[in-house]
């Protein structure tokens, strides 16, 4: 039994003590000498022009350093491509303070910089700005007939596959049919930590931007292109993030404003957004989905049709994969998928946890429930009859798919066999209606190019660097586990650092690909370091490893030893001492093995079982039990992985029952833009949540066999709850969230 095997175990977060003691530093907490403070002024109108900014009235206040606006922004990069970041959709990215045009409500129109925060804030409150409003349109309902099919534009977006079979005829002639529209409103990410940037302006004109971002390299590229900085002069750092959920994938406007001010004033500047301003940028788009399903007499799907329309801004075509899943999740030969956008006077939507899939799984999985009822089948049995053995969109087999195990293990643990099919047929001891529902989905198992550096010092301590991100997911912990296990070191001897453009490049922290991408890079790099260490070990006098190849040895418990004979070993620290080197360093990287992966469709899957209790008279719903059965390849850390899925379920409950950003179309403005009125669950809303990770081996996705779990846990949760509400009450609510009024 070795003690340095950590992968698949449940060590606690290595960054936990730093977080709970306050030692972890967030973007707005870097205190640098001579710091100045910026306050963003936001537009009260949704469309029109700025006609006059009375900057002179606040510039006279002692301590106000500058009012930045379109009137005094220096000449910056001209072409759109300079403003495009790694995940920018097609179109022209928003340029803060570019001209006098107002494109959306709460658009930043000025940045006031002052010697202290209170002064900047006060100046903003008295700054007079005159506007000429123009008619705006913010209501997706009015754009139903004006949808258009977007181009590819954005990384990761796949247009729906062409229709297959004869989906119209198959639907018309089928034994059982359903058709319905499903709707959810706009949602904002609302991580606890506000967006903020602290720019340290160095004496030599270099800057360090401590920025809230899920990708320091993405922000560095954005800044260097716009402000004409060299990479050496623009370091971007994010060591910790108080939640991201996708909101930090694109550079937000505060980093632009803070850097602009720092370069112009030659001072260090901090800009922190307010909670209200957290509703002024990307969001999960308001989406309308139309589904038509039909079954054959044997309960197999005869036709699947899924069409989605969602909002985007006037200036960019934000895309996400909403409908494609419906051509892949279940076996069906007659499929038609459609996807359209409509332009509104709002900011561009932005990837938000399981973008597209979280939305699509609401439509498809509620429709599947409706179809099961129409066909007289148990919803789980209906899914088993339509189990997809291959990905029909791609016409490829799955690299692995243990979804059936999710069904069976989940059903057994949840007690699904005790469910009675009839709506309103189950009640608890107090007479409340009880409902059980299911829903699930799939998410891509992706791997991106990633690099790392590993350094071991004479005292046996290992430092591994890769500019990835930690927004609460457990990146620090799993990378430490991988590095420690690869080189046979105790966890305490390993430090993993991330979030700094001085480190080797890692991809954006998103897409559920961090474990696969950075994890493989860390593994490869540590193995390369291991090879060096083996060579040094072989130079030692009387080394028992003299004739061993790298494949013949293993690194365990601080030793390098022969796999075939554990007694033939050398102590790693002795190797380092004997080498006479103060440190040994290697750079490494990992790329997806395209040749190996190409023939396969690679996905994680899940199935969620939910129980609700409904007080029918008062319309209140409580989600009393949720079980999420997940097949996501190898689980690196049982504890952090479980936490991720618990968080996903909580957010799914939120999506189902309470979360919605409400627009007043008269003003084209989100009105519940604060934590008091934008509702997410509190502890009292959360009851039993259970997670099953089914065993799933997959040596195709990557050498670690991991698929990532950032998004998959979110899928089907809202649908399972909506289906459970139907089972409890007989009422089919098709527009989320299911608030009290919809059940009266």
Q: Answer yes or no whether residue 666 interacts with another protein by CB under 8 A.
A: yes
Q: Answer yes or no whether residue 122 interacts with another protein by CB under 8 A.
A: yes
**Distance in angstroms (rounded) separating the CA atoms of residues 689 and 698:** 27
Q: Answer yes or no whether residue 119 interacts with another protein by CB under 8 A.
A: yes
Quote the least distance from Cβ 569 to another protein, whole Å: 57
Cβ(670)–Cβ(735) below 8 Å: no
**Distance in angstroms (rounded) separating the CA atoms of residues 320 and 156:** 8
Quote the least distance from Cβ 604 to another protein, whole Å: 30
Q: Which one, of 224, 212, 714, 271, lies nearest residue 469 by Cα?
A: 212
Q: Taking the CB of residue 243, how many other CB atoms lie within 10 A of it? A: 16
Quote the least distance from Cβ 740 to another protein, whole Å: 6
How many residues of this chain bind another protein (CB under 8 A)?
45
Among 331, 538, 620, 643, binds another protein (CB under 8 A): 620
| Residue closer to another protein (CB basis): 432 or 642 | 432
The C-alpha angle with vertex 438 and arms to 432 and 440, in degrees rounded to 5, equals 150
Tokens for 122, please give them.
């006060």
**Distance in angstroms (rounded) separating the CA atoms of residues 658 and 679:** 6
Q: Which one, of 462, 432, 450, lies nearest residue 622 by Cα?
A: 432
Quote the least distance from Cβ 657 to another protein, whole Å: 8
| Residue closer to another protein (CB basis): 25 or 620 | 620
Q: Which residues of 171-185 are buried (b: 16+ CB within 10 A; e: fewer)?
A: beebebbbebebebb
The C-alpha angle with vertex 710 and arms to 706 and 711, in degrees rounded to 5, equals 110
Q: Answer yes or no whether residue 740 interacts with another protein by CB under 8 A.
A: yes
Residue whose tokens read 């095997």: 5
**Distance in angstroms (rounded) separating the CA atoms of residues 670 and 155:** 28
Q: Answer yes or no whether residue 203 interacts with another protein by CB under 8 A.
A: no
**Distance in angstroms (rounded) separating the CA atoms of residues 546 and 224:** 50
Q: Answer yes or no whether residue 121 interacts with another protein by CB under 8 A.
A: yes
Tokens for 413, please give them.
């643990």
Quote the least distance from Cβ 102 to another protein, whole Å: 12
Range in contact with another protein (rule: CB under 8 A) among 81-89, 411-419, 555-563, 662-670: 662-670
Quote the least distance from Cβ 78 to another protein, whole Å: 32
Strand 64-68 relative to strand 108-114: parallel, antiparallel, unpaired? antiparallel
Range 430-459, binding another protein (CB under 8 A): 430, 432
| Residue closer to another protein (CB basis): 203 or 682 | 682
Range 686-715, binding another protein (CB under 8 A): 687
Range 306-365, binding another protein (CB under 8 A): none
Q: Which one, of 586, 493, 462, lies nearest residue 531 by Cα?
A: 586
Among 554, 685, 690, 735, binds another protein (CB under 8 A): 685
Q: Answer yes or no whether residue 664 interacts with another protein by CB under 8 A.
A: yes
Residues designated as active site: 711
Q: Which residues of 30-61 are buried (b: 16+ CB within 10 A; e: fewer)?
A: beeeebbbbbbbbbebbbbebeebebeebeee
Range 23-82, binding another protein (CB under 8 A): 44-45, 61
Quote the least distance from Cβ 17 to another protein, whole Å: 25
Q: What does the DSSP assignment read for 394-418? A: TTEEBS---HHHHHHHHHHHHTGGG
Range in contact with another protein (rule: CB under 8 A) among 48-56, 208-216, 217-225, 661-669: 661-669
Q: Answer yes or no whether residue 681 interacts with another protein by CB under 8 A.
A: yes
| Residue closer to another protein (CB basis): 44 or 730 | 44
**Distance in angstroms (rounded) separating the CA atoms of residues 158 and 706:** 23
Q: Answer yes or no whether residue 175 interacts with another protein by CB under 8 A.
A: no
Among 159, 619, 703, 730, binds another protein (CB under 8 A): 619
Q: Answer yes or no whether residue 638 interacts with another protein by CB under 8 A.
A: no
Q: Taking the CB of residue 543, how many other CB atoms lie within 10 A of it? A: 18
| Residue closer to another protein (CB basis): 414 or 443 | 414
| Residue closer to another protein (CB basis): 577 or 674 | 674
Range in contact with another protein (rule: CB under 8 A) among 10-18, 566-574, 630-638, 671-679: 671-679
Tokens for 121, please give them.
């804030």
| Residue closer to another protein (CB basis): 44 or 242 | 44
**Distance in angstroms (rounded) separating the CA atoms of residues 660 and 408:** 34
Range in contact with another protein (rule: CB under 8 A) among 69-77, 326-334, 474-482, 673-681: 673-681
Separation in Å, CA 648 to CA 79, 280, 510, 608, 662:
39, 24, 14, 11, 23
Q: Which residues bind another protein (CB under 8 A)?
A: 44-45, 61, 105, 118-119, 121-122, 125, 428, 430, 432, 613, 617-620, 622, 624, 657-658, 662-664, 666-667, 669, 671-674, 676-677, 679-685, 687, 739-741, 744
């Amino acid at each position: 039994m070795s003690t340095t095997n950590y992968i698949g175990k449940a060590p606690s977060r290595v960054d936990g003590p730093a977080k709970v003691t306050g030692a972890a530093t967030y973007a707005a907490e870097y205190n640098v000498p001579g710091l100045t403070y910026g306050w963003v002024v936001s537009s009260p109108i949704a469309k029109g022009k700025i006609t006059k900014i009375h900057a002179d009235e606040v510039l006279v206040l002692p301590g106000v350093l500058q009012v930045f606006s379109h009137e005094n922004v220096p000449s910056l990069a001209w072409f759109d491509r300079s403003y495009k970041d790694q995940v920018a959709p097609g179109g022209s990215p928003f340029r803060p303070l570019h001209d006098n045009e107002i494109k959306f409500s709460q658009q930043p129109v000025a940045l006031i910089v002052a010697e202290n925060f209170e002064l900047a804030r006060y100046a903003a409150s008295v700054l007079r700005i005159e506007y000429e409003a123009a008619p705006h349109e913010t209501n997706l309902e009015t754009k139903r007939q004006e949808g258009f099919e977007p181009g590819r534009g954005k990384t990761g977006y796949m247009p729906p596959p062409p229709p297959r079979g004869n989906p119209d005829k198959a639907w018309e002639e089928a034994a059982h049919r359903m058709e319905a529209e499903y709707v959810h409103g706009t949602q904002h990410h609302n991580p606890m930590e506000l967006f903020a940037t602290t720019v340290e302006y160095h004496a030599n004109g270099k800057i360090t931007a401590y920025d809230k971002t899920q990708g320091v390299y993405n922000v560095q590229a954005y800044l260097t292109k716009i402000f004409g900085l060299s990479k050496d002069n623009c370091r971007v750092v994010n060591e910790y993030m108080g939640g991201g959920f996708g909101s930090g994938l694109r550079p937000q406007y505060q980093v632009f404003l803070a850097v602009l001010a720092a370069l112009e004033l030659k001072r260090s500047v901090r800009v922190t957004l307010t909670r209200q301003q957290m509703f002024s940028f990307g969001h999960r788009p308001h989406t309308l989905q139309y589904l038509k399903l039909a079954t054959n007499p044997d309960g197999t799907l005869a036709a699947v049709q899924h069409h989605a329309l969602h909002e985007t801004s006037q200036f960019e075509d934000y895309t996400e994969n909403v409908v494609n899943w419906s051509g892949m999740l279940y076996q069906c030969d007659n499929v038609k998928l459609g996807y359209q956008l409509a332009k509104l006077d709002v900011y561009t939507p932005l990837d938000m946890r399981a973008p597209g899939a979280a939305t699509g799984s609401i439509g498809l999985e509620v429709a599947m429930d409706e179809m099961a009822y129409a066909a007289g089948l148990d919803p789980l049995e209906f899914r088993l009859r339509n189990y997809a053995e291959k990905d029909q969109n791609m016409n490829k087999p799955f690299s692995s798919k243990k979804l059936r195990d999710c069904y069976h293990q989940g059903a057994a643990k949840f007690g699904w066999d005790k469910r009675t099919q009839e709506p309103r047929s189950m009640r608890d001891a107090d007479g409340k209606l009880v409902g059980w529902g299911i829903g699930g989905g799939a998410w891509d198992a992706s791997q991106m190019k990633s690099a790392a550096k590993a350094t071991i010092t004479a005292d046996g301590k290992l430092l591994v660097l890769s500019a990835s991100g930690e927004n609460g997911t457990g990146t620090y912990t799993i990378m430490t586990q991988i590095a420690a296990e690869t080189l046979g070191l105790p966890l305490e001897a390993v430090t993993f650092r991330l979030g700094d453009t001085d480190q080797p490049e890692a991809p954006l922290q998103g897409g559920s690909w961090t474990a696969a991408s950075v994890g493989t890079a860390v593994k490869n790099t540590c193995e390369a370091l291991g090879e060096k260490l083996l060579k040094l070990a072989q130079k030692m006098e009387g080394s028992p490893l003299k004739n061993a190849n790298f494949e013949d040895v293993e690194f365990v418990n601080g030793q390098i030893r022969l796999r075939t004979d554990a007694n033939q070993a050398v102590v790693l620290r002795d190797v380092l001492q004997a080498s006479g080197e103060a440190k040994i360093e290697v750079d490494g990287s990992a790329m997806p093995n395209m040749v190996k992966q190409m023939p396969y469709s690679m996905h994680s899957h899940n199935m969620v079982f939910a129980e609700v209790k409904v007080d029918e008279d008062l319309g209140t719903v409580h989600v009393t039990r949720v079980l999420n059965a997940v097949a996501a390849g190898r689980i690196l850390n049982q504890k952090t992985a479980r936490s991720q899925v618990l968080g996903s379920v909580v957010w799914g409950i939120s999506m189902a029952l309470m979360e919605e950003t409400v627009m007043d179309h008269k003003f084209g403005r989100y009105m519940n833009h604060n934590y008091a009125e934008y509702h997410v669950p509190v502890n009292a809303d959360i009851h039993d949540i259970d997670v099953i990770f089914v065993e799933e081996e997959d040596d195709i996705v990557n050498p670690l066999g991991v698929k990532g779990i950032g998004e998959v846990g979110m899928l089907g949760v809202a649908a399972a709850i909506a289906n459970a509400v139907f089972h409890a009450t007989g009422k089919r609510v098709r527009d989320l969230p299911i608030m009290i009024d919809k059940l009266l």
